[in-house]
Amino acid sequence: MANEHIGMEEEPEIIYIPDDEGNEEEFEVIMKFEVDGSDAKYMMVVPRESADEETDEVYAFRYEEDGEDLKLFMIEDDEEWAIVEETFNTLVDELDGRDE
């Protein structure tokens, strides 16, 4: 059957990120991507408790994988943030079928 996966959802990837007080918060990874011309990897995450709401706040991190360990880095550079935002929006548009 060609459409075996219809109705079956892929298990979401969950990561835990400590807040300012050291409490681990649960986040769902909604997208991972690399930016052309760079070795940097990025992920977009949403808080797990609000993952089903339309008003999700999306967080972006640069990440590195070291075996089983995942290291997250805040994106603090405005130029890097602009590149990540543009890449994310382009990928979302492609997924929505609005490829220009």
Q: What is the pLDDT of residues 35-75, one digit of tens each?
A: 877 889 999 999 987 545 555 688 999 999 888 888 999 99
pLDDT (0 to 100) of residue 56? 61
The kind and range of the H/E element at 82 are helix 78-95
> 98: which strand partners?
none
Average pLDDT of the segment spanning 68-93: 91
3-state class (DSSP) for residue 92: helix
**Mean predicted confidence (pLDDT) in 27-33:** 93
The per-residue pLDDT for 4 is: 47
18 and 24 Cβ atoms separated by less than 8 Å = yes
**d(Cα 12, Cα 6) in Å, to the nearest integer?**
16
Nearest CA to 85 among 47, 33, 48?
A: 33
Q: Calculate the average pLDDT of the chain.
A: 82
Q: What percent of the chain has pLDDT over 90?
A: 45
* Residue 24: per-residue pLDDT: 92
Q: How many CB atoms lie within 10 A of CB 42?
A: 21
